Structure 1
Amino acid sequence: MKKILLICCFTLISGLSAFAQRFAYVDSEYILKHIPEYLSAQKQLDALSQQWQKEVDGRFADVEKMYKAYQADQVLLTDEMRKRRENEIVEREKEAKEFQRQKFGFEGELYQQRVKLVKPIQERVAKAVEAVAENAGLDMVFDKNSNVIMLYASLRLDKSNDVITRLGYKPGTLAK
């Protein structure tokens, strides 16, 4: 009988302490849209991406032209000339793929630029979230835009505007 009573008390205390935890969430996308430096960094990254994509497209277009010219001339070429042109096409295609990988691949130049421009901003936001959470006595803060599934969230738990204010910006007006 004592064991059952002890288990019931423990369950009740555990349940009450679970209700005492304080949760909130932030919308990182919303916060970042209020930071002019982030918007500027995104514009720079978009411009770089477009420039490099044009270069990649141009290189693959050159490969396509070489291949079409090869197909048109193929009947007139000797075996040695055919092999040489095929090798040139293959080599040009490899170079185009390597260029694409260098710019857009895992840890490529675009990724490195993103880290250089965006990471300091993300670190400032993380510190601001931590400060808001500590000031509000929160136990956990979720990001609305992460992979954590949030089926419901009361607006009173949204601390995004507090984070924007903590960063020194005015919430409610998106930076242009």
Structure 2
Amino acid sequence: MRKIAQIILMTALILTAFASNAFGQKLGYLNSQEILEKYKAAQDVKSQLEELNKTWEQEALNMQREVKELSDQLEAQRLLLSESKRAEKAGEIQTKYAELQQFQAQKWGPQGDALKEEAKLLQPIQTKIIEAINVVGEKEGFDYIFDTVTANIVYVSKNQIDLTARVLEELEKGLASSGSAK
């Protein structure tokens, strides 16, 4: 599915490039994934994140082992322990398991430390990449540069006309005329 989307995007870019050349516009494209894979600073960040992840994974494994050991001990001593001691041990196991789940959510959850750390470390790299794209776009006279991975425009020449105000004006006209027709 992603390949098909990329093929469609590339075809559209090529057709647009041919059509826009008639109007004197210069289009370019880049692959942001390839840039991240080949840019040394991005690779350094990736290595840092992998090391940090390994540390957290080891902590999680240690916590899992502790839960398993406590469970195994309870199972082995079940017949020897009083009902209150069994309940106490079971509560201890549940507490340790809840701590493990909380740790995993804190590190790898949707708002987790892993994502926060990645964003923090990648921010300066993304800024440098954007600056490099702008330099290339300006130096080489591109009007637009597209990213084939995200299918977004990542550079727009300063010489392009922003039609936002005109479109809003047209929308307001349409709303005014449809409002008066009621």
Quick check: 1:121 aligned with 2:122?
no
Q: Are the aligned partners of 2:28 and 2:145 in contact in 1 as well (CA < 8 Å)? A: yes
Q: What's the counterpart of residue 106 of structure 1?
A: 110
What secondary structure, in the 3-state scheme, does the structure 1 residue paired with 2:110 have?
A: coil
Change (3 A) 1:46 1:17: closer
Give ranges in structure 2 of 5+ residues lacking alignment: 1-18, 153-182
Quick check: 1:82 aligned with 2:79?
no
Q: What's the counterpart of residue 161 of structure 2?
A: none
Task: Tell me the TM-score normalized by structure 1.
Answer: 0.65
Structure 2 Cα separation of the partners of residues 70 and 46 of structure 1: 36
Q: Which moved more, 1:59-68 or 1:86-95?
A: 59-68
Quick check: 1:93 aligned with 2:97?
yes
Structure 2 Cα separation of the partners of residues 19 and 106 of structure 1: 47
What secondary structure, in the 3-state scheme, does the structure 2 residue paired with 1:76 have?
A: coil
Quick check: 1:43 aligned with 2:47?
yes
Aligned-pair CA distance for 1:83: 1.0
Structure 2 Cα separation of the partners of residues 139 and 107 of structure 1: 37
Quick check: 1:24 aligned with 2:28?
yes
Aligned-pair CA distance for 1:19: 6.4
Q: What's the counterpart of residue 6 of structure 1?
A: none
Percent identity between the two aligned chains = 28
Greater relative contact order (Cα < 8 A, sep 6+): 1
Aligned-pair RMSD on alpha carbons? Answer: 2.3
Q: What's the counterpart of residue 71 of structure 1?
A: 75
Structure 2 Cα separation of the partners of residues 125 and 17 of structure 1: 26
Q: What's the counterpart of residue 61 of structure 2?
A: 57
Task: Tell me the TM-score normalized by structure 2.
Answer: 0.63
Give ranges in structure 1 of 5+ residues lacking alignment: 1-15, 150-176
